[in-house]
Structure 1
Amino acid sequence: MKSFVSSSPVMGFLFSSFWAVLVLVLFLQPAAAQICTFWDSSCVDPVAQTAVPVDFRPLIIRDISLYYAYDANPRGKGQEPMTKTGFWLSFDNPRVDKSVITANRTSEVALRIGNMTGTPGGDNNGCDGVWGTDCSRDLKRALKHALFHLSSTGDYYSRPLETILNQMVVSPPTTLTSCPPQLWDVGTIPVEIFAQETIPDQEATLYSSGSTDDPLKTWYIDNMTAHEQAQQVAVAILSRAPSYDSEPPDSQEDIQIELACVQAPSGGSSATSNS
């Protein structure tokens, strides 16, 4: 028996056209949106999210935006509440001033969550309203001093800010009397690199902008509800310091520290679909 397609040139043409149109329609269908579950650490489906612009001159001429978000699960490990926190940076057509690239430097961003409440406002991107101008000044000085000392010791490190923050969490500085005593009372302070400067080519490599689908970092906080995290102040620390393979700076003022304090209030309800 002859095949259906070959029995009639007209019908064969119509049949072929039908399949061509069907393939085209399927090709043009939008891809199904990726679902971010609570236990997927590569993304965050936030119950609350906020952002704050941060001036990171002289390296990056235009402001960068720091995003902070969290998801919540009322039945985490051991059926206790838990939140998943994420943060990332967004660059809006960033412009780099190559004239200030005079050494190999690493720029990092850290985010501290837990045991810190208050009302962000004022200078230092809201941190002065949380703990006062004296603490902001002294904290920046202490971080610069620690980074300067680290770069002068000759000991190996890959992430300067992460290295000194780990040390401070284990052994809090005793000189920061102007800051809240619970400043270092956290289990961890996640840190990620967002820029690398190299000489003699005077190039700066910026990590691509993040999003809820591709945050710089996510981590889980035990025994924390969405309502409780909404009351917490997220403290961000941005640094620009010598890389390990760089000459020590002439002074502490050659090291850059920026602070930012934000809150992401939610309605207080926890996400249940991500459990």
Structure 2
Amino acid sequence: MSSCRGFGHLRPWVLLVAFTLLQCGSAQFCSFWNNGCIDPLAQTAVAFSFPPLFLDPITLFYSFDSSSSGKGEGPMTKTAFWLGYLDHNINPQVVDTNRTSEIALRVGNLTGTPTGPNNGCDGIWGGRCSHDIKTSLQATMFQLATSGDYYNQPLATALDQFMMTPPVLPSCGAPVFDVAAIPVQDFAYEQAPSQEVTVMKPGSSHHPWQVWYLDRMTDVQQASQVAVGIVSRSPSFDSHPPLSPDDIQIELVCLQAPKAHPQDPVLLRTTIEIDLVGPFFLDRPSVFFSSSRLDCRCRWL
């Protein structure tokens, strides 16, 4: 059952919007085995900057659902991610060669609390480890871009290499790439000299970018895990090779499912941001409430 606590200080129109959204959310459903959508048991999001191509912050959404029986061999979770952004607010002036932007999400064998620089990742493994991960990816992708060998997705290719032959990361302690899968999605393509940028449509729980399943993982276990987003902007195969590894942009984003009380380890909470533009609404409120099945976003323009 959905609950709406802490609304006493909100204005009446906010309560009306929240009630409407709750009704909207209760009508949505996606089967656990449908990999084209997700009905999230828990969902969280983190905004991060990705200049110079994107002029506004990008939001990484991470959500999961769970099944106690899975395929009949124990628990299983269903994980999904996507990005949200203003796809029309792109800076084409920075396009000077063909580039591909990608996002990967790593889940598993990593706990802690995201805090500090590198979008919370320094609080997980320290600033030196974040630096080593980024420089290792830059070096591998630079070598790929200057090798002359064909490749499609530079970040996906580099991560495949890391999973087969883990890089030496002495500052990171535990293996960073020792997981079964790291799904990758390309989301922006730059073409020179036309300075044309093709951007993937922002995702949602109804149209997530990537969906995959984790065997023998309970919802409580996944809620304790830290998900690591790896975002890249790198020369495409048909571009001029970069001059140095520093020409390859890498960002890290760490996030975790919100938690509640010890007896209820997964906080089923969704943030709804509603843009209300007009003579009656001069601010942009965020409505918070608890709901186990909800993913509605309203934009009134």
TM-score class normalised by the smaller sequence: 0.7 to 0.9
1:93 Cα offset (Å): 5.6
Partner Cα distance (2:246, 2:197) in 1: 20
Partner of 1:251: 244
Partner Cα distance (2:175, 2:77) in 1: 20
Relative to 1, partners in 2 of residues 1:45 and 1:171: Cα closer, same or farther, differing over 3 Å? same
Is 1:179–2:172 an aligned residue pair? yes
1:46 Cα offset (Å): 0.7
Query: Residue 171 of structure 2 aligns to a residue in which SS?
Result: coil
Is 1:79–2:76 an aligned residue pair? no
Partner of 2:104: 110
1:265 Cα offset (Å): 3.1
Partner of 2:131: 137
1:95 Cα offset (Å): 1.4
Partner of 2:46: 52
Match of 1:127 among 121, 124, 139: 121
1:160 Cα offset (Å): 0.4
1:55 Cα offset (Å): 0.5
| Unaligned segments of structure 2, at least 5 residues | 1-23, 269-292, 294-301
Give 2:102's aligned amino acid. Answer: E
Match of 1:41 among 35, 38, 43: 35
1:169 Cα offset (Å): 0.6
Partner Cα distance (2:28, 2:124) in 1: 37
Alignment check: 8 A CA contact 1:66 1:89 kept: yes
Give 1:144's aligned amino acid. Answer: Q
Match of 2:209 among 211, 216, 221: 216
Partner Cα distance (2:218, 2:196) in 1: 43
Deviations 1:221-241 (A, max 9, x none): 000000000000000000000
Relative to 1, partners in 2 of residues 1:34 and 1:230: Cα closer, same or farther, differing over 3 Å? closer
Query: Residue 29 of structure 2 aligns to a residue in which SS?
Result: coil
Alignment check: 8 A CA contact 1:195 1:204 kept: yes
Partner of 1:190: 183
Cα RMSD for the two superposed structures: 2.0
How many pairs are equivalent? 241
Query: Residue 77 of structure 1 aligns to a residue in which SS?
Result: coil
Relative to 1, partners in 2 of residues 1:61 and 1:268: Cα closer, same or farther, differing over 3 Å? same
Deviations 1:52-106 (A, max 9, x none): 0110000111001000000000010233000000000001364111111000000
Partner of 1:21: none
Query: Residue 124 of structure 2 aligns to a residue in which SS?
Result: helix
Alignment check: 8 A CA contact 2:87 2:201 kept: no
1:61-80 correspondence runs (5 A):
61-80=55-74
Partner Cα distance (1:265, 1:188) in 2: 23
Partner Cα distance (1:184, 1:200) in 2: 36
Relative to 1, partners in 2 of residues 1:93 and 1:162: Cα closer, same or farther, differing over 3 Å? closer
Alignment check: 8 A CA contact 1:114 1:186 kept: yes
Query: Residue 178 of structure 1 aligns to a residue in which SS?
Result: helix
* Percent of aligned pairs sharing the same letter: 51
Alignment check: 8 A CA contact 2:104 2:183 kept: yes
Give 1:121's aligned amino acid. Answer: T
Is 1:261–2:261 an aligned residue pair? no
Query: Residue 232 of structure 2 aligns to a residue in which SS?
Result: strand
Alignment check: 8 A CA contact 1:125 1:261 kept: yes
1:268 Cα offset (Å): 4.3
Query: Residue 99 of structure 1 aligns to a residue in which SS?
Result: helix
Partner of 1:161: 155
Match of 2:89 among 84, 91, 95: 95
Partner of 1:18: none
Q: Which has the larger radius of gyration?
A: 1
Give 2:247's aligned amino acid. Answer: D
Query: Residue 223 of structure 2 aligns to a residue in which SS?
Result: helix
Give 1:75's aligned amino acid. Answer: S
Task: Decide which structure has greater helix share.
Answer: 1
TM-score (structure 1 length as normaliser)? 0.84
Partner of 2:14: none
Alignment check: 8 A CA contact 2:87 2:199 kept: no
Deviant stretches of 4+, over 2 Å: 32-35, 265-269
1:37 Cα offset (Å): 0.5
Partner Cα distance (2:119, 2:143) in 1: 26
Partner Cα distance (1:45, 1:210) in 2: 14
